[in-house]
């Protein structure tokens, strides 16, 4: 199942920031990770991922570096900046509050007490 565009627009950047918080990643790696780790819910193609990455880069939330990989090919690796970390933290708190709100009105099921 794929998310609607509006939902993806809100969730996508936070998901990418979260993935990059663990370690730096290149574009295809991100696509794969998003697809597999979210069971396809947050799967996105190149048309969505790369503009999103460029936007995050423009906002100084991530930074990019071209580097040669082990297979000898050049890849552009993205990593989180200090500003990106703060943003991720704020986004995660916002999502937690949203989650609680959704639980409270019964959209989501709450964790058993």
Residue 96 Cβ vs another protein, minimum distance, rounded to whole Å: 28
Q: What is the 3-state secondary structure (H, E, C) of 57-106?
A: HHCCCEEEEEEECCCCCEEEEEEECHHHHHHHHHHHHHHHHHHHHHHHCC
> 7, 9, 23, 32: which one contacts another protein (CB under 8 A)?
32
Q: Cα(30)–Cα(79) distance, rounded to whole angstroms?
A: 11
Scanning residues 73 to 92, which ones bind another protein (CB under 8 A)?
Answer: 73-76, 81-82
What do you get for the CA distance between the two ends of the chain, in Å? 29
Residue 45 Cβ vs another protein, minimum distance, rounded to whole Å: 5
Helix and strand tally (H, E) in the chain?
4, 3
| CB closer to another protein, 9 vs 97 | 9
Residue 31 Cβ vs another protein, minimum distance, rounded to whole Å: 8
The 41-60 site mask, x for binding another protein (CB under 8 A), equals ----xxxx-xxx-xx-xxxx
Task: Note the residues at the interface with another protein (CB under 8 A).
Answer: 26-29, 31-32, 45-48, 50-52, 54-55, 57-60, 63, 66, 71, 73-76, 81-82
């Amino acid at each position: 199942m794929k998310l609607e565009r509006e939902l993806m627009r809100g969730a996508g950047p936070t998901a990418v920031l979260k993935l990059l918080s663990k370690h730096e990643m290149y574009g295809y790696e991100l696509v794969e990770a998003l697809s597999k780790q979210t069971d396809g819910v947050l799967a996105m193609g190149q048309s969505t991922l790369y503009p999103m990455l460029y936007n995050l880069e423009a906002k100084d939330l991530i930074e990019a570096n071209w580097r040669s990989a082990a297979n000898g090919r050049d890849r552009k690796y993205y990593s989180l900046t200090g500003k990106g970390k703060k943003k991720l933290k704020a986004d995660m708190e916002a999502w937690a509050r949203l989650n609680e709100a959704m639980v409270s009105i019964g959209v989501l099921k709450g964790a058993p007490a």
